[in-house]
Amino acid sequence: MHVEERFTNPLGVLQGGFLAALCDSAMGASSITWAVGQGGRVERSANAEMKVSFLRPVPVGSILTCTAIVVSGGSRVAFVEADVVDDAGRRVARASSTYLLSLSTEPEAADS
């Protein structure tokens, strides 16, 4: 994510909601990728709760990278964590979340 001025608060740093959205997007994708790797077809992955810790201010012009991983999961729930680092490799945020999964082991219907 490239931090643009339009995403900043009156102090000129990135608003926390954008960091939270970045984390949610990465963690949601991670939950789906993980569930598919478990042999099921994901019908839905819904964020049930999320905690974000903002560790340092992010100025305009920064390039952010978010990496997410499923730390534990089962057939209905995945616990996921994410780290956001800036272009200097400094951690600017850390998030954790619980995703509720709706999986199907039924094969997809073939198109007629």
At 7, give phi and psi (nearest 5°): -100, 10
DSSP state of 12: S
Taking 80 as the threshold, does the pLDDT of residue 108 lie above it? no
Which token pair is 3?
Answer: 């931090």
**Fold type of domain 16-104:** Thiol Ester Dehydrase; Chain A (3.10.129)
**pTM, to two decimals:** 0.86
pLDDT tens digits, one per residue of 50-97:
999 999 999 999 999 999 999 999 888 999 999 999 999 999 999 999
Domain boundaries of the chain, sorted by first residue = 16-104
The residues, ordered by sequence, that sit 6+ positions from 20 with a Cβ below 8 Å of its Cβ are 50, 52, 95
